[in-house]
Copies of this chain bind each other. A is one copy, B any other.
């Protein structure tokens, strides 16, 4: 197995573990066992747990950015765009009741090493910026302050929906909450 493969295996398995259990609960020994190396080898590729987590968060934001950019380019209507957007967070729950990497690490926010916190924060900034662009596109004379606040509220509400649905272990709870947001006018 080449270096790149091992490194990629570590990132892939670690990402899945963090989305299930968070940063604190991530164990280098368990991770190493799942990958098939010794924990000291993980340290060879990522000197500290902070280095690994920061790399995970950075990659996660990059992937999200690419996906969202394409979604905006496809130039669908607002309703279809919201549906595609909320489906991303639904997909995490479908994957063994996992969470968005941001959602689970946001709860640990004050414990995260600074390098990790910085990368995690970039994900929420990206999402709010993207939602702002999506909302602004629909309006002739957009009030950017009000739109940015709405974008912030939408992101917060969706993360909250994921948190609650995960706690209940029931993806229908997520769907119901999103539907209620739509009916109340938050997602519109």
Q: A-side interface residues toward B, CB under 8 Å? A: 20-22, 24-25, 97, 99, 103-104, 106-111, 120-121, 124, 149-150, 152-153, 155-161, 163-168, 173, 176-177, 179-181, 184-186
Contacts and interface: CB of A to CB of B under 8 A. Distances in A.
A99 B107 contact: yes
A156 B99 CA distance: 15
A169 to B, nearest CB: 8
Given A25-B108, A107-B22, A150-B180, A156 B161 contact: yes
Nearest to A109: B167
Nearest to A117: B167
Nearest to A161: B156
B109 A166 contact: yes
Contacts of A155: 160, 164
A172 to B, nearest CB: 11
Given A156-B161, A163-B163, 10 more contacts: A22-B24, A106-B107, A107-B107, A110-B166, A124-B167, A152-B180, A153-B177, A156-B157, A156-B165, A185-B185
